[in-house]
Amino acid sequence: MKPKSIASINQLPPKEKEAIYTRFIPNKLLQQFEIQADFIDADGRSLLNLRSNKGSTDVVLDLRHEFGAQDPLLYTHLTDTMNGQIHVLLYIVNDPNSPRFGVDKMPDGTPTEFGVFRRNLIEEEKAVIAGLAPGQVRQGLRLLKHAIPAFDEFVQALGHDVYFIEPLSYHNAIVFERYGFSYQKGRRLMMRINAGFQPASDLFKKLDDSTPFRKSSFYRSIRGRSWAIHDCILGEPYSDVTMYKKIGKNAGLNTFPDAKW
């Protein structure tokens, strides 16, 4: 019987699980970094780490561009929803050849948890200047146009026509809108944010250059708004937003018209 959920895939033998889960890795990513189809390097070492224990309802896929690399090339965390749909909790692609910024750890090595619980302000300021968005330790690879079709095929092969995703930050949600996603919850918040950043509105007025993350010009850009929100300009963390995508359909949403990155 064909598996239809993360839980059912996790019951399969290791090689079968790997064959299914690696379907959503974009071929372009493998080609760009010359990663073989078996994910084994020239010295016989695996570049793929798959955490998919029997009895669990989630999976973590961690792919490195070379053995022992500091950061994943691709890191994905998926789980089942209560009714067996696929939910993407985290999807990160890093350019391993770009400069690294230590926004993920405090000076003493304590994890920042994407800046939700604590922030390394020195590294974050460097990241802002370098053009990164909140949560990024390196530049991305701009592969979503390849990643989303691959993920659509993966979900469709499991017999589903919809999947869900948790945007980590404001900029993630805006980008997912561009690829046809809609909101299960959070659309009202997104509309409120856009209204708040209009000239003379409340969030716009808080862009007072008081921190490197609240520059007065940030109201015009996706990345700038996201940094200001990360800097708690809303008065609370950006959270409680869930999006979904129907296979083969584009929701056509745009909560930030005429946006620039």
Task: State the chain's mean pLDDT as an integer.
Answer: 96
Q: 54-58, 111-115, 127-131, 190-194: which range is least confident on average?
A: 111-115
In this predicted structure, what is the pLDDT of residue 116?
Answer: 82
Q: List the one residue out of 142, 143, 152, 140 whose CA is nearest residue 23.
A: 152
Is residue 203 helix, strand or coil? Answer: helix
Question: Does 81 reside within a domain?
Answer: yes
Q: What angle (nearest 5°) sits at the alpha carbon of residue 226, between those of residues 72 and 154? A: 45
Strand partners, 77: 60, 90
User: Quick one: tokens of 149?
Assistant: 């079709």
Residue 25 identity: I
- Name the pLDDT band for 113 (thresholds 50, 70, 90): confident
Cβ atoms of 4 and 86 closer than 8 Å: no
Q: What distance in Å separates the CA atoms of residue 22 and residue 4, rounded to the nearest whole number?
A: 16
Question: Does 175 reside within a domain?
Answer: yes
Question: Does 226 reside within a domain?
Answer: no
Residue 205 makes CB contacts below 8 A (sequence gap 6+) with none
Its pTM stands at 0.93
Residue 217 makes CB contacts below 8 A (sequence gap 6+) with 207, 224
Is residue 47 helix, strand or coil? Answer: coil
Helical residues (DSSP H) of the chain, grouped into ranges: 6-9, 14-21, 27-32, 121-130, 144-157, 170-178, 187-196, 202-206, 222-230
Q: How far apart are the first and last CA of the chain?
A: 45
Q: For the chain, how many structural domains are there in total?
A: 1
Q: What is the mean pLDDT of residues 122-140?
A: 97
Question: Does 206 reside within a domain?
Answer: no
In this predicted structure, what is the pLDDT of residue 115?
Answer: 83
Cβ atoms of 205 and 150 closer than 8 Å: no
Strand 86-93's sheet: what is its strand order?
Answer: 48-51, 58-63, 74-80, 86-93, 162-165, 242-246, 182-185
In this predicted structure, what is the pLDDT of residue 197?
Answer: 98
Q: List the one residue out of 175, 141, 168 whose CA is nearest residue 245.
A: 175
Tens of pLDDT along 3-60? 999 999 999 999 999 999 999 999 999 999 999 999 999 999 999 999 999 999 999 9
Question: Does 256 reside within a domain?
Answer: no
Residue 250 makes CB contacts below 8 A (sequence gap 6+) with 179, 180
Domain boundaries, position 15? 6-196+238-246
Tens of pLDDT along 164-216? 999 999 999 999 999 999 999 999 999 999 999 999 999 999 999 999 999 99
pLDDT over 90, % of the chain: 95
Tens of pLDDT along 135-178? 999 999 999 999 999 999 999 999 999 999 999 999 999 999 99
Assess whether pLDDT exceeds 90 at residue 84. no
Question: Does 222 reside within a domain?
Answer: no
Question: Does 215 reside within a domain?
Answer: no
Question: Does 120 reside within a domain?
Answer: yes
Q: What is the mean pLDDT of residues 87-107?
A: 96
Cβ atoms of 207 and 193 closer than 8 Å: no
